[in-house]
């Protein structure tokens, strides 16, 4: 197992993060945007776990943090979807371009 280098994990995380970022910044459907944000969170989780194993001072802290992130992400997804649904009910749309109430 030890033959897989740390850089491979990091590269995976990077790719995941970039895909997530791309999706978050370009997709018009709000659900897709939320999913993209989950991708980025998971990229971070991979990083955390990687460094907990291969970092300068390996310890369990990174994995604990990853677990924390997963649980927070779950909570966030629940709240986010709830907001999304209530938005859909009032605006009749999930298109992110039309959600510009911050401007006013």
Partner 1 sequence: MMENAWLIPLFPLLSFLILLLFGKRLKEASAYVGILLTLASLVFSILVLFERFSEPTYITKFNWLTIGDLHLTAGFEVNQLNALMLFIVSLVSFLVHTYSKGYMNGDERFPVFYAYLGLFTFAMLGLVISPNLLQTYIFWELVGVGSFLLIGFYYYKEEAKAAAKKAFIMTRIGDVGLFIGMILLFWETKSFEYSAIFAAVDAGAISGTMITLTAILIFIGAVGKSGQFPLHTWLPDAMEGPTPVSALIHAATMVAAGVYLVAALFPLFAASKTALLTIAVIGAFTAIFAASIGLVQTDIKRVLAYSTVSQLGYMMLALGSAGYVAGVFHLMTHAFFKALLFLAAGSVIHAVHTQNIEEMGGLWKKLKFTGPLFLIGTLAISGVPLFSGFFSKDEILIAAWEGGHPILFLLALIAAFMTAFYMFRLFFMVFTGEARGDQKHVHESPNNMTYPMILLGVLAVIAGYVNTPWFGSFLGDWLVDGNPALGHGHIEGPIWIMIAATVVSLAGIYFAYMMYYKRSIARNTISGTGDTLHTILLNKYYVDEFYQLTVVAFTKGLSYFLRFIDVFLVEGLVKGVVGIVQGLGRTGSKMQTGQVQTYGAVAFIGLALLAVIFALTGGYLR
Cα angle: 40, vertex 104, 29; to 5 degrees: 35
Q: Find the part of the chain contacting partner 1 (CB under 8 A) among 21-29, 41-49, 70-78, 85-93.
A: 21-29
Q: Is the Cβ of residue 90 or residue 101 nearer to partner 1 in the bound state? A: 101
- Site size toward partner 1 (CB under 8 A) is 13
Contact 32, 56 (CB under 8 A): no
Chain centroid, CA 15 distance in Å: 12
Tokens of 6: 């740390």
Q: Would you count residue 100 as binding partner 1 (CB under 8 A)?
A: yes
Chain centroid, CA 31 distance in Å: 13
Q: Would you count residue 3 as binding partner 1 (CB under 8 A)?
A: no
Contacts with partner 1, residue ranges (CB under 8 A): 21, 24-26, 33, 96-97, 99-104
């Amino acid at each position: 197992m030890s033959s897989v280098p740390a850089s491979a994990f990091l590269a995976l995380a990077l790719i995941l993060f970039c895909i997530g970022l791309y999706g978050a910044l370009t997709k018009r459907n709000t659900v897709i945007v939320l999913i993209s944000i989950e991708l980025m969170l998971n990229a971070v989780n991979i990083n955390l776990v990687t460094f907990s194993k291969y970092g300068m001072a390996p310890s369990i802290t990174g994995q604990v943090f990853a677990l924390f992130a997963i649980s927070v992400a779950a909570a966030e997804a629940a709240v986010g979807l709830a907001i999304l649904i209530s938005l859909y009910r009032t605006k009749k749309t999930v298109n992110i371009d039309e959600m510009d109430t911050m401007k006013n």
